[in-house]
């Protein structure tokens, strides 16, 4: 039961609409993510592999982005009548910005209607680090999550229609830590499990828990289509099917230094357990990442200007659960006391409901070739949240959001393109008063556990998710694209005119 408790609180929840705040690629960022129909660099592998047909000749690119999500949370406690009883000190996210790389190489190998690409990219996700003793410590202390996609893609034009597909290897890493409470229940030693006392102190009851998960590889694919019946219009769509993540990792716990299980059992004077920590190095974490559907239309009223509108639908409601299996976590009993007479080993499998909802993003952006050597771009977007208010916490800070972006591309002698972009997103401030995010507690009655063989029971304790939550997202990106071969040297206007031919 203890393993169930830990996994339930530490399950990697980073895969929500909030996880994909900004998509991969410097040029796409500068257009507010509107890059499904008009993609013109190797990040088309991510947005729409069919749009790779816009690329001419051999080229390689590298992108580097910085992603930061400031968070402020002021926890508020309310009584059963909804009256405010306590306001906690505001806590902030102190994690450094995430470093997000992307690389790619492409070539048509002399084929007019075919283009091949090989790349690696990562969706942009936040990391979190909060005070270890703040109002957040029962929901999250720190977390780090990242995902890498890598593999080949191909686009094939048939008349004015282009089909694209990619096969990718995806790697996922997640680390999280928090505190939970293992207390003596309200009426100890009567054989009945109650609940943690309202005045239970963290110093004597808390247990620090940490989960690390690493999926070394799951196979994924994406598909795209691009219709260009005339040079002035491109209509594109792409689909990323569900991805199955099967991670291996470790689950560890550390008792607070003054925990009552280590400071005598309340009857005798010896510790109930012999060790102050336990670890399982071979847990499995299984989850599903859902369908992501993209569609967009790009128009070119004049050769130097392109405007695109996109819609993205993320089916997070289908990611119903996380499974944690292969659990084997042992707490060693103390042979010098007689209440617990054997080690406590937990081997339960765990099924964790997610409770997410689908999210929709609307995007508008475009490019303008100011000169043959300089392109400027701008865009904006609006996205709904995949996390309901009742389950929102500092574990993953999301909400309905709108963002704006700007960028540029400078070309040097047709052989090098330098891209730069900046994006700022503003999340809706949430004043949460109906939270169902609660402290996880395990009240222990030594008579029930020690003599009657009753299992430990997981309890939902006091609400810890109510309060004022504010956040924003800032992203900056730089990219370089190198061109070679006979196609290199074309100016921007000529490249733009190639779309739709």
User: What percentage of the chain has pLDDT greater than the value 70?
Assistant: 80
pLDDT of 332 over the 80 cut: no
* pLDDT at 9 (0 to 100): 43
- Average pLDDT estimate for 85-114: 94
pLDDT tens per residue, range 222-236? 999 999 999 999 999
pLDDT tens per residue, range 451-481? 555 666 777 888 999 999 999 999 999 999 9
pLDDT tens per residue, range 217-276? 888 899 999 999 999 999 999 999 988 888 888 888 888 888 887 876 444 546 767 777
User: What percentage of the chain has pLDDT greater than the value 90?
Assistant: 50
Using alpha carbons only, give the angle 178, 426, 358 rounded to the nearest 5 degrees: 70
Within 315-358, strands assigned E span 321-325, 329-331, 344-346, 350-353
- Average pLDDT estimate for 299-315: 96
pLDDT of 366 over the 90 cut: yes
Q: How far apart are CA 422 and CA 427, in angstroms?
A: 17
| Average pLDDT along the chain | 84
- Average pLDDT estimate for 64-76: 94
pLDDT tens per residue, range 309-321? 999 999 888 776 6
pLDDT-based confidence at residue 15 (cuts at 50, 70, 90): very low
Q: How far apart are CA 195 and CA 202, in angstroms?
A: 15
* pLDDT at 184 (0 to 100): 83
Q: Give the number of C-alpha atoms closer than 13 A to the C-alpha of residue 180, restricted to the C-beta side.
A: 26
In terms of Cα–Cα distance, which of 167, 75, 86, 202 is closest to 464? 75
Structural domains in the chain, CATH included, are 2-498 (2.40.160.60)
User: If residue 448 lies in a helix (H) or strand (E), which one and from where to where?
Assistant: helix 446-450
pLDDT of 442 over the 70 cut: yes
pLDDT of 3 over the 50 cut: no
In terms of Cα–Cα distance, which of 471, 476, 453 is closest to 397? 471
* pLDDT at 281 (0 to 100): 87
* pLDDT at 170 (0 to 100): 87
DSSP alpha helices (H): ranges in 17-65? 26-30, 44-47
* pLDDT at 451 (0 to 100): 52
Please, is 351 exposed, middle or buried when counting C-beta atoms within 10 Å of its C-beta (0-12, 13-18, 19+)? Answer: middle
pLDDT of 412 over the 90 cut: yes
Of the given ranges (64-68, 96-100, 440-444), which has the lowest mean pLDDT?
440-444
pLDDT of 426 over the 80 cut: yes
pLDDT of 345 over the 80 cut: no
Taken in order 106, 109, 113, 114, the sign of the CA dihedral is negative
* pLDDT at 6 (0 to 100): 46
* pLDDT at 22 (0 to 100): 57
- Average pLDDT estimate for 275-304: 88
Taken in order 309, 317, 322, 449, the sign of the CA dihedral is positive
pLDDT of 117 over the 60 cut: yes
* pLDDT at 8 (0 to 100): 43
Secondary structure (3-state) at 47: helix
DSSP alpha helices (H): ranges in 168-306? 202-205
- Average pLDDT estimate for 4-12: 43
pLDDT-based confidence at residue 333 (cuts at 50, 70, 90): low
* Sequence-separated (6 or more) residues with CB below 8 Å from residue 208: 141, 177, 178, 179, 253, 254, 255, 256
């Amino acid at each position: 039961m203890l393993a169930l408790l830990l996994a339930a609180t530490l399950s990697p929840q980073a895969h929500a609409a909030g996880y994909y705040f900004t998509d991969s690629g410097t040029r796409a960022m500068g257009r507010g993510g509107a890059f499904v129909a008009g993609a013109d660099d190797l990040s088309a592998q991510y947005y729409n592999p069919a749009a790779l047909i816009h690329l001419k000749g051999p080229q390689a690119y590298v992108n580097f982005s910085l992603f930061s999500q400031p968070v402020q949370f002021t926890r508020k406690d309310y009584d059963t009548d909804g009256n405010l009883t306590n306001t906690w000190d505001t806590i902030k996210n102190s994690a450094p910005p995430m470093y997000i790389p992307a690389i790619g190489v492409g070539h048509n190998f002399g084929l007019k209607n075919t283009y091949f690409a090989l790349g690696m990219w990562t969706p942009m996700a936040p990391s979190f680090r909060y005070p270890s003793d703040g109002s957040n410590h029962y929901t999250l202390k720190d977390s780090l999550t990242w995902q890498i996609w890598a593999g080949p893609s191909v686009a094939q034009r048939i008349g004015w229609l282009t089909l694209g597909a990619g096969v990718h290897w995806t790697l996922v890493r997640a680390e999280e830590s928090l505190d939970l409470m293992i207390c003596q229940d309200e009426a100890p030693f009567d054989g009945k499990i109650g609940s943690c006392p309202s005045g239970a102190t963290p110093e004597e009851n808390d247990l620090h828990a940490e989960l690390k998960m690493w999926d070394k590889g799951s196979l994924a694919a994406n598909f795209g289509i691009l219709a260009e019946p005339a040079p002035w219009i491109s209509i594109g769509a792409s689909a990323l099917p569900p991805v199955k993540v099967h991670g291996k990792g470790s689950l560890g716990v550390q008792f607070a230094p003054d925990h009552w299980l280590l400071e005598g059992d309340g009857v005798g004077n010896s510790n109930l357990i012999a060790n102050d920590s336990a670890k399982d190095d071979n847990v499995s974490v299984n989850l599903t990442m859902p369908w992501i559907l993209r569609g967009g239309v790009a128009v070119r009223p004049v050769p130097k200007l392109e405007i695109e509108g996109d819609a993205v639908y993320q089916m997070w409601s289908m990611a119903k659960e996380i499974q944690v299996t292969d659990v084997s976590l042992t707490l060693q009993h103390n042979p010098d006391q007689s209440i617990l007479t054997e080690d406590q080993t937990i081997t339960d499998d765990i099924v964790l409901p997610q409770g997410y909802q689908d999210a929709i993003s609307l995007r508008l952006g475009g490019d303008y070739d100011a000169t043959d050597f300089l392109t400027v771009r701008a865009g904006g977007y609006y996205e709904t949240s995949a996390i309901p208010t009742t389950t929102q916490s500092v574990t993953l800070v999301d909400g309905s959001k709108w963002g704006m972006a700007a960028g540029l591309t400078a070309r040097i002698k047709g052989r090098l393109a330098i891209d730069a972009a900046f994006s700022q997103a503003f999340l809706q401030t949430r004043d949460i008063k109906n939270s169902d995010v609660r402290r996880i507690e395990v009240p222990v009655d030594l008579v029930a556990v020690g003599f009657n063989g009753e299992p430990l029971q997981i309890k939902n304790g006091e609400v810890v998710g109510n309060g004022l939550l504010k956040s924003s997202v800032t992203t900056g990106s730089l990219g370089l694209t190198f061109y070679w071969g006979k196609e290199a040297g074309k100016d921007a206007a000529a490249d733009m005119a190639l779309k739709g031919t």
